[in-house]
A and B are shown apart, each in its own frame.
Chain A
Amino acid sequence: MVAGGLSAGNVLSTAAPNRELWSRIFRHPGAELDNITLTRFFDEMRGNGDAIRAPYERVSEWIDRSGLDLLRQRSAEAEAIFRRIGITFAVYGEGGDPERLIPFDLIPRIFSAEEWRRLSRGIEQRARALNAFLYDIYHRGEILRAGIIPADLVYRNAAFQPGMIGVEPPGKVYSHIVGIDIVRTDEGTFQVLEDNCRTPSGVSYMLENREIMMRMFPELFSGGGILPVDHYSNHLAKTLEELAPAACKGEPNVVLLTPGAHNSAYYEHSYLADLMGIELVEPLDLFVNDDLAWMRTTRGPQRVDVIYKRIDDDFIDPLAFRPDSMLGVPGLFNVYRAGGVTLCSAPGAGVADDKAVYVYVPDMIRFYLGESAILQNVPTWRCSDSDECAHVLDHLGEVVVKEVHGSGGYGMLIGPTATKDERKTYAKRIRENSADFIAQPTLDLSTVPTLGPRGIGGRHVDFRPYCLVGKQVRLVPGGLTRVALREGSLVVNSSQGGGVKDTWVLGD
């Protein structure tokens, strides 16, 4: 970068006048340049009208002041930094570079203090209810007896672990890191798209995106109006430590269990282990002896008290789950049940993030907490119900259909953009296994201005906060904003061409 290139004065003289820049920002196919057209989508910076919404005032000025050329240049710099640090996301089996960068967009997504108060209360409420639900289904099953949730949905769920029945996890916590995917459709409407109770990933991007923004644009952070997120790793470490098993005397030894360097989220695993100063272990590093878990070190065996596992339940213990698995630590599940080690998340926590169970989360909140849900669900049709299934099949062109157990944006049907053939094939699948599918209306996801090849344009976003549940519930003010970089696209998953943005929560 050229010295002095940062000076705002240089840039102003060459920057496009405001009006032109804004018309570029909101240009959609077919829109006239001088006729600023807003689509039906709620834009987080501009709302439904022309006025800049209050939380975005400062950033909007910054965009004007910088101009497209400088933003493009800084965007390339940011990418170079990401690549050098090696923050990659591995996508295997599709050819090309197996270690890819997730595209980072410079223009942040911003919540006001007021918005965050409501969001954070809703997120924490949901995380508590999901854990209460998990405790219940592995104990007395009150919510099933009360007829609020069909028992089949739980007991015949692929993620249900019969071996967990009656087990008392420390703190009664099953899902220690709850990632809740939230979308916004207008000024006042936030809806939950899905819950991730097992191993939600992406928090390293929340932390790195902020680091890079602070490093590149310190002027935006001056005045301290943007709440920090970098204490996430301290909170995570505290959450894990305070749930050490009863068998642990003294300071607990916490480790992060990764499937290994070939896992797509390996960078995140090593990054978090590094931040917390704990060992990053693979299954082969661990063994079980005398009802306790140990790791092999150069000084000999060392006790392990808490395992932050970033590996599927199926692969943690071949004796308990998948005898055909080469992965895993034989006997680990027994040690867990005997209270020799804590597993975070607990095996079987996946029942709570099943998309068919999701429908009942507002009911869980009422049942366990006696509160009404602060964050609403997206209206959902369950194809297991024959009336609802018929409705979905009749309206395939208008809805999004998801597999109940799917994740990562794979195996979805986006009705409005699918071809006739795709819809036909999908309809056949639904008829064959209707209980495996749910459908939701195509949502008018909000957009945030995003730098693209043809200028700045609104792109659809979602939001994933990471709620920590230990002896207390902790939530840092922020999360990961994912953005669908292709114009008009609604799929934000990183495996499907999504990018990320820094997320700001403003202080009072």
Chain B
Amino acid sequence: MLSRTAENLYWMARFMERAGATARLIEMGQRMAVLPRSYSQEEWRSVAVAAGCIHLFEDEPVVDEAAIIRTLMLDKDTPSSISSCLERARSNGRSVRTALTRDVWEVLNEGWRMLEGTDAATAQRDLPALLDLVKQRAALFRGAAASSMLRTDRYDFVMIGTHVERADTTLRLLDVKYHVLLPETEVVGGGRDHHQWTSVLHATSAMRAFHHVYRGDYSPSKITDFLILNDAFPRSLAFCYDEIGLHLQKLARSYGQEHECHATVASMISRLDDLEMGELFQHGLHEFILEAMAVTRKLSSEIYRAYYF
């Protein structure tokens, strides 16, 4: 397979995953903003930080819902905005049209203009419905890929892209929780903290799943345990790394060659296996998150090098 084809498949999957993730982040912002004792501005600011876009708001006096919708949802020039993710996923797909199944192509081709012509006022009014549509589009993409693509190296690159992006999203969410949402003076475990942690669960579409596993006890350590170590939860760091590892292994088998990215993933997986959450939470969750983010970035560039992107 051409390296460019692999690269396009990888980014197509990353952008579709990111479109869904940004939609969930905006939902999280909206939810936090209406909670009692909210510092509304801070909540929306945290959404921008989690999306990795806070620098775009430097000139804005306040970061509010309208600014977030304009920038993260509609603005085509913002790399992580939903609009530009849908468009870039489609243009990556179009460049490798022959490597896609018709099902996958149609999801991309029908969805890329869904926000076109939507103005900020309309978007704000219809926000929940629009965000639902975006999440559905991302789910359709995953479904079409899973049910129609041959399990060849093409599919491996789609899955690697999906899970690298997803691991990155989960880590950024956890980072934001620590970095922005929690003022130094606030006691961990306070009422506001509780709401913020549950918001993080909402942002990962994990509320119900969490209840099934932990029976409603919202301790921060259980939530982090769920999002980092629980390999049954599809948005946890452990699950994402397992998937990346699985598909990198498939590539190694079919190409007959392992690269540094294989070692990086293996060491992250064994690290996650050995981790004790309680201990980690007491002594340095934030450091761990920063380190995991760095590893994920390194992994992404190692994948680039390994397959000649």
Of B37-45, B89-97, B184-192, which binds chain A?
A: B89-97
B256 → chain A closest CB, angstroms: 8
Q: A293 interface residue, CB < 8 Å from B?
A: no
Asked if B98 and A285 make an inter-chain contact with CB atoms under 8 angstroms apart, the answer reads no
Residues A270 and B255 in contact in the complex (CB < 8 Å), given A296-B4, A297-B308, A298-B153: no
Asked if A280 and B98 make an inter-chain contact with CB atoms under 8 angstroms apart, the answer reads yes
Give the chain B neighbours of A295 by CB distance below 8 A: 2
Interface size on A, residues (CB 8 A): 18
Could you tell me the distance between the alpha carbons of A281 and B2 in the complex, rounded to whole angstroms?
A: 8
Q: B214 interface residue, CB < 8 Å from A?
A: no
Q: B109 interface residue, CB < 8 Å from A?
A: yes
List the B residue with the shortest CB-CB distance to A300: B308
Asked if A298 and B251 make an inter-chain contact with CB atoms under 8 angstroms apart, the answer reads yes
* Across the A-B interface, the 10 shortest Cβ-Cβ residue pairs: A296-B3, A298-B307, A274-B98, A296-B308, A261-B95, A298-B6, A298-B1, A261-B94, A270-B97, A299-B255
Q: Which of B2, B6, B98 contacts A270 (CB 8 A)?
A: B98
B183 → chain A closest CB, angstroms: 47
6 further contact pairs, Cβ within 8 A, besides A270-B97, A295-B2, A297-B308: A86-B105, A273-B98, A281-B4, A285-B3, A298-B3, A299-B1
Could you tell me the distance between the alpha carbons of A249 and B41 in the complex, rounded to whole angstroms?
A: 68
Instruction: Name B92-110 residues within 8 Å CB distance of A.
Output: 94-95, 97-98, 105, 109
Could you tell me the distance between the alpha carbons of A261 and B1 in the complex, rounded to whole angstroms?
A: 18
B10 → chain A closest CB, angstroms: 10
Asked if A282 and B98 make an inter-chain contact with CB atoms under 8 angstroms apart, the answer reads no
Could you tell me the distance between the alpha carbons of A114 and B251 in the complex, rounded to whole angstroms?
A: 57
Asked if B98 and A298 make an inter-chain contact with CB atoms under 8 angstroms apart, the answer reads no
Q: A246 interface residue, CB < 8 Å from B?
A: no
Q: A47 interface residue, CB < 8 Å from B?
A: no
A137 → chain B closest CB, angstroms: 36
Give the chain A neighbours of B97 by CB distance below 8 A: 86, 270
Give the chain B neighbours of A298 by CB distance below 8 A: 1-3, 6, 153, 157, 251, 255, 307-308
Give the chain B neighbours of A261 by CB distance below 8 A: 91, 94-95
Q: Which of A86, A285, A298: most chain B Cβ within 10 A?
A: A298
A103 → chain B closest CB, angstroms: 21
Give the chain A neighbours of B257 by CB distance below 8 A: 299
Give the chain A neighbours of B255 by CB distance below 8 A: 298-299
Produce 1/0 per residue, A274-301, CB < 8 A to B: 1000011110110000000001111110
Q: A260 interface residue, CB < 8 Å from B?
A: yes
A271 → chain B closest CB, angstroms: 8
A306 → chain B closest CB, angstroms: 16
Could you tell me the distance between the alpha carbons of A274 and B5 in the complex, rounded to whole angstroms?
A: 14
Asked if B95 and A297 make an inter-chain contact with CB atoms under 8 angstroms apart, the answer reads no
Give the chain B neighbours of A284 by CB distance below 8 A: 4
Residues A297 and B2 in contact in the complex (CB < 8 Å), given A270-B97, A274-B98: yes
28 CB < 8 A contacts A-B: A86-B97, A86-B105, A260-B95, A261-B94, A261-B95, A270-B97, A270-B98, A273-B98, A274-B98, A279-B2, A281-B4, A284-B4, A285-B3, A295-B2, A296-B2, A296-B308, A297-B3, A297-B308, A298-B1, A298-B3, A298-B6, A298-B153, A298-B157, A298-B251, A298-B255, A298-B307, A299-B1, A299-B257
Give the chain B neighbours of A279 by CB distance below 8 A: 2
Could you tell me the distance between the alpha carbons of A284 and B6 in the complex, rounded to whole angstroms?
A: 14
Could you tell me the distance between the alpha carbons of A280 and B91 in the complex, rounded to whole angstroms?
A: 16
Give the chain A neighbours of B95 by CB distance below 8 A: 260-261
Give the chain A neighbours of B6 by CB distance below 8 A: 298
Give the chain B neighbours of A282 by CB distance below 8 A: 4
B109 → chain A closest CB, angstroms: 7
Give the chain A neighbours of B109 by CB distance below 8 A: 86
B207 → chain A closest CB, angstroms: 39
List the A residue with the shortest CB-CB distance to B97: A270
Instruction: Name B1-34 residues within 8 Å CB distance of A.
Output: 1-4, 6
Give the chain B neighbours of A260 by CB distance below 8 A: 95
Could you tell me the distance between the alpha carbons of A296 and B7 in the complex, rounded to whole angstroms?
A: 11
Give the chain A neighbours of B105 by CB distance below 8 A: 86
B19 → chain A closest CB, angstroms: 20
B282 → chain A closest CB, angstroms: 43
Give the chain B neighbours of A280 by CB distance below 8 A: 98
Instruction: Name B142-157 residues within 8 Å CB distance of A.
Output: 153, 157
Instruction: Name B285-299 residues within 8 Å CB distance of A.
Output: none
List the B residue with the shortest CB-CB distance to A302: B2
Could you tell me the distance between the alpha carbons of A297 and B4 in the complex, rounded to whole angstroms?
A: 8
